Structure 1
Amino acid sequence: MTLAIRQFPCLGDNYGFLIRDEETGQVASIDSPDAEAILAELDASGWGRLDFIFNTHWHPDHAGGNARLKAETGCFIIGPEEVRRIAPLDQPVADGDQVRLGDTSFYILDAGGHTLGHVAWWSRRAEVVFVGDCLFAMGCGRMFEGTPDQFWASLERLAALPPDTTAYCAHEYSEANARFALSVDPSRAVAERAEVIFAQRAQGLATVPTTIGLEQATNPFLRAPLLRPDLDPAQAFAALRVAKDNFVG
């Protein structure tokens, strides 16, 4: 693999990600949830540098460490324009743009819906996508700023990636997501995956990353049109999102 990835927990339920292009040694942090934790992981990695921050959206648990990391490492910050609402940003990007980490290219995908300008970072060569809060294992982010049509289009965009693409989600929400999925989707695949997730969490293991193919098979939000065939796809998604927002279980 041309891309080395270090995943580590931070804050209450976030994951941080440091990535390194193996050919050139360039290093980036995907978002900046916790500057102190990122600097500690950077030191433990032995990689010796932080060249970039690649932001997915503006929320403080994703861009809150930008200023400190830039001050301490001189890194260059790239992300959607909305990041400027709370943090420094050197280069704005949007859907269709391409960014290089050394010899590894990342394509910017519109992932709006959780926030209006949310983006995902996809490397075809490395077969990975960093999805922020748009997509979770068996779930998706809350629809804080977008519309059902926008959010559904973002999920479709991610679902259209190759099934073996590894998807790195930004939070450990899988156990709660699995409980909700069981309440709305009777498929055997969902039941089997939920059992795996419950066992992983009982052992304190991470359920991230996932794959696009696994989400296509077991994520109720990607399966919304199948679960609510009485509604058009965006409205089916919206109905599930409202149900999840009010779910207790």
Structure 2
Amino acid sequence: CLDSLGAYIDGELTADEASLVEKHLETCADCSAAHRRLMTTSSRIKAGLMRYEAPDVLKARIRASLADMREAPDQPALVPLPRGRAWPRMVAAAATVAIVSSGLTFAALRERAPSNATEQQVLASHIRSLMPGHLTDVASNDQHNVKPWFNGRVNMSPDVPRLDSLGFPLIGGRLDYVDGRNVAVVVYMRRQHVINVFSWPASGAAEQTAESSSSNGYHLLRARHNAMEVWIVSDLNEAELKDFARTLMP
């Protein structure tokens, strides 16, 4: 009977088995008392446990790793593949060669403090997103889930390309607030680095060559693309972040 009580408390019984135990407890004083003692002990153990919720960044890294695993079978195995994470790096390097003629150029990176209010807000939003519970409002590696989520939340439709094959898996998206307006943020990963892509309607229609800056170990890229102001922020190294930007905004 005690074995059944333990399984009952742990939720391991089927509905029919649980019903039989409940009926027995109604008529058996000894088993009912044992049930109460076990419940009290279980509650005390649970109350004494320290629980930690995984940070959003860790969840994103796990989702990125799973995305890499799902993509792996689709890669043509014509030659022996390098072990570990060397293969995504080789794919990204090949993609870099293919898109180097895209015409997107960058100013030299400058290590300095944010120079204007918008840059300060974008950087602060990026740092805030790394805290638990702030990275995504919609967590998905499917662009057909992320892109429609922004409908009715912002007055534009952000670009949400799938870049998994190039080593930049999509993690999700969220709503943020910059310069007194709601803005769309699409989130990608590169190994253990979060990449936030902020976008909102541009004040002018002309395309603007991307400019780069750096502050406190974070790199920022700013451009005007497809009538949108785009800010890209990450602690990823400068070269790879520029490769990402060229892929995102060909």
TM-score range, shorter chain: under 0.3
The structure that has the greater radius of gyration is 2
TM-score (norm 1): 0.24
Bigger share in helix: 2
Higher relative contact order (CA 8 A, sep 6+): 2
